Structure 1
């Protein structure tokens, strides 16, 4: 067997920097607006954590922030970012006194860190999914205007066109290393489901936008076709190079669990095994055959009488109805979870209004319980929406649990 050839990897730091540069280009003052060292985002996150981990309305000192960044950067790098943070008002004076070394963190900066971290790690398709989700909720609640829905659909269609063109360019002109580095930014199994959910609402409530909604579906299909070409090239070149790093380990594990024997055997076609050598005698084989002989059949029990009481058993009917309800509830829980291990269903409950929210909660309670692979978690906070049908609601999270054996009821 030939030695495995490992492909080089494009540093993830360079990919993050490139993503940040493109993200701020629309508001940048010049071409070097983004620092080339992606570690600067970690410094900002460490400064934010210093404020988030303690309550100090009077602010924190420079030394407090330096200590918080000790594991991220040296003092020289910290001073450079510290001065920049003050100039850009990420850090603002904690008291209105001259020469007072106390600072507070600007909440707009906290939002910026979240956005930059998400964009640099997951790419622009995640933002498209967020746009579709916001649009769906707004239409369901009746708070979206026709102009807002039209603008959202137009923007979604444009993002899909750009994303598909970019993937096809990677397939035609970029190295396998670059494609592997960007593969995690194009893993969105629910994309077409989310697109169809929004377009179906648009067709029901804004019939004049049906042609626009149809073009969004067409561009989503084009993007998925481009993603298929993208993955096919990675797998094809990775197989030629015998590089097992082209897929995530979860994907290999899924194939090992669900793949057929014929498919799994191909991985061992070039391996050489010693021949099977089992020293068996005739007496040993006869003894094993005797032990495997099935026992004599037991006498059949007399059939139960076929009377009206057994045919119309109310308890059995009750159990069967509950089993059907649990099965329907479990299917709905699977749809809500998708590929995730935990989801917050609070927004879905709010979107269904009343009594839809109550029906969804009852269904999810029915899907949980001993021996079932789902559980519910309820938060302590309270969400209030005076304009919605569900005026107040505590957070509800649905999660998967290890599947346990289901207890059965004896007949």
Structure 2
């Protein structure tokens, strides 16, 4: 759009501002966001009532607030036009109307012109230069704040102003030399605002509908109020100890916050009670349902459907499949026929016998290996054989322990308690071991047949 004025011509002879269709194949299709859905949940009547209460301190008569919410939104669209336009010397009414047309505003031309004249007379649009009939305007910053506040007050119901009061009070308390009079005024303002919100919630709980309570609960979704009020009270106590009027104001603020919080909980409880009894799925927003689906457990999600009533879907049967099933159907016999007795094949091996054969083979293999180490002697020192390698040492110890534990085998394993360490050997450390065979009586020095028989008796015990 250029800086020169662009003449406006109605489309098809009508006086409405319309949007020309974009025939570009790659044109972006705007989708409705979750925030738009939340805005639409607020009824027009409730929105107008909020605006009337918001503008009442500034209005001269009861008809000062517009009846059409779209006219209020028109001021916000004008802000967007000024921000996106390339001109830095103001815009004319013709350029503003052209910008509204590109934004898709469908209002009669007479309504648009009357609204622009009203914004000019009220000072929302100011002349760019102090000249008569110069025809180019800019937005006064105060008008910007009013347009944004009108949108914000419908979303939050004025709760943001209470947050601003709490922040201003905290900032005033954190100054190096806070003014007691100013702090007392801030504390009283916060208490007054909390009581106004609490009394409004109490009225809604007593006489409001579930839809009103749902919207009120979303507006008052500030769980940090309790923490902020407690911090303010601590700051007052720390900075003004002994100033009873400030301490009493801090205590009264805490009591007001507790009363406010109790009304918030009462509103939520009534919404949950009515919504649960009536199976109202409007209690939560689409974003809250999406969050629950992603974060809640399976048991919590299953609990939602315990009270739902629904019909089971009908079974779909293809005609061709039905005909095929009828042709292949055979009546079931009512006589029970005993199944044939299974006969094991003659060469079926016994699994227990196979285990016993394998165990006997393993025991015989161990015995032959240890007898080879004994070489016909009654005992042998296993330590040199175990020093060959770790695998050999493990195999010898395992075989000797297995035969020592078997009561059918005449072998005794004697492991010394002391540890032998040799860093140069393949097996760096081990306990010396001896293998003794108790069924052979061969007299040797230091070991008698009585000792061998005693060893055998002790093992049998």
TM-score normalized with structure 1 length: 0.60
Contact 2:50 2:157 in 1 (8 A): yes
1:39 CA drift (Å)? 1.1
Question: Given the alignment, which residue of 8, 21, 44 partners 2:52?
Answer: 21
Counterpart CA distance in 2 for 1:236 and 1:259 is 21
| 2:231 counterpart of 1:197 | yes
Question: Given the alignment, which residue of 274, 283, 298 partners 1:246?
Answer: 283
Contact 1:195 1:220 in 2 (8 A): yes
Instruction: Determine the structure 2 residue equivalent to 1:44.
Output: 75
Residues 348-393 of structure 1: per-residue CA shift (max 9 Å, x gap): xxxxxxxxxxxxxxxxxxxxxxxxxxxxxxxxxxxxxxxxxxxxxx
Distance 1:259-1:61 versus aligned 2 partners, 3 A rule: closer
Residues 297-353 of structure 1: per-residue CA shift (max 9 Å, x gap): xxxxxxxxxxxxxxxxxxxxxxxxxxxxxxxxxxxxxxxxxxxxxxxxxxxxxxxxx
**Secondary structure, aligned partner of 2:281:** coil
Which consecutive residues of structure 2, in runs of 5 or more, have no partner in the other structure?
A: 1-39, 314-461
Which consecutive residues of structure 1, in runs of 5 or more, have no partner in the other structure?
A: 1-8, 275-411
1:226 CA drift (Å)? 0.5
Number of residues paired by the alignment? 266
Instruction: Determine the structure 1 residue equivalent to 2:209.
Output: 175
Contact 1:94 1:103 in 2 (8 A): yes
Of structures 1 and 2, the one scoring higher in RCO (CA 8 A, sep 6+) is 1
CA RMSD of aligned residues (A): 2.4
Instruction: Determine the structure 2 residue equivalent to 1:103.
Output: 137
Question: Superposed, which structure 2 residues align to 1:143-154 within 5 Å?
Answer: 144-154=178-188
Contact 1:43 1:73 in 2 (8 A): no
Counterpart CA distance in 2 for 1:66 and 1:186 is 38
Counterpart CA distance in 2 for 1:36 and 1:143 is 48
Counterpart CA distance in 1 for 2:49 and 2:177 is 37
Distance 1:55-1:140 versus aligned 2 partners, 3 A rule: farther
Residues 103-149 of structure 1: per-residue CA shift (max 9 Å, x gap): 12112211222222222211122211111112212221336411111
**Secondary structure, aligned partner of 2:66:** coil
| 2:87 counterpart of 1:35 | no
Distance 1:143-1:36 versus aligned 2 partners, 3 A rule: farther
**Secondary structure, aligned partner of 2:174:** helix
Instruction: Determine the structure 2 residue equivalent to 1:267.
Output: 304
Instruction: Determine the structure 2 residue equivalent to 1:362.
Output: none
Counterpart CA distance in 2 for 1:96 and 1:155 is 40
TM-score normalized with structure 2 length: 0.54
Contact 1:160 1:223 in 2 (8 A): yes
Larger Rg: 2
**Secondary structure, aligned partner of 1:245:** helix
Distance 1:153-1:91 versus aligned 2 partners, 3 A rule: same
| 2:105 counterpart of 1:72 | yes
